[in-house]
Structure 1
Amino acid sequence: MATQRKSILTATFGEYARLNPALIASYGGEANIERMISTNVRQANAAGFDVDNIAINPEDPADSIKRFEAKLRSQDWDGLLVGWGLRGNQSHTVLFEAAVNVAREVAPQTRMLFGNAPDDMFMTIQRNFPEAK
């Protein structure tokens, strides 16, 4: 367990994932995704990590980046976990690049983490913060 609590910001599609029913279905439906995320957040909390999310709307990139920047500035973050939905689809590359560049400029001390699925958030935290057990 981390000796001092650490803060992780996740940048995911959040509620905007509903705009892509095929994406939701690929992970077993909305209830299953919520279960996976809740389990991972509980694991992270138990290991000394506080997790907050900023929902990125792929249909409104300008507003999303504006809100993302404000969230990054709202506190010091130990880690920024970018979800697969944002970085794993070629059609979202411009939005992904904008998010990464804003993070690099606004919070250069924040460790960048890259998740692969809704159920690997805690594993991603463990991979990047060895003290997470």
Structure 2
Amino acid sequence: MGACVSSTSSSKSAKTVGGGGSSVFKRSSAAAKVVHVEGRVQEFRQSVQAKNIVAQNPGHFLCSSESMSIGTCVPHVPDEEELQPGQIYFLLPLSQSDKPLSLPDLCSLAIKASAGLDTRSVDLSSTNSKLILR
């Protein structure tokens, strides 16, 4: 795997994960959802900035499912950006930030998101408290 120089580059062969009407990761409610690498999902119903999530998870970065494309580096959500209701985000290790997203990587993320979005495994979170439903 090669290192990425720019996460904004595009290629005709790159397949877009999100955007438009046919996203692999469907929006399912008014809460912003963050899928962690182990499959746990946090749900944020109140406004929260990306930097607040990243600060609680050192060595990780936040990315939006809408901006993921196969064959390109996954762009980081800017620190000051507010997480958008209904949007699915992934919290990934910084070690993955300079590697192009492969189809197996995408499949793994889709499986984790699908399993984690089961309501029995969702953390309902605000910036102050957490409630874990099981």
Shared fold per TM-score greater than 0.5? no
Q: Structure 2 length as normaliser, TM-score?
A: 0.30
Q: Structure 1 length as normaliser, TM-score?
A: 0.30
* Higher helix proportion (structure 1 or 2): 1
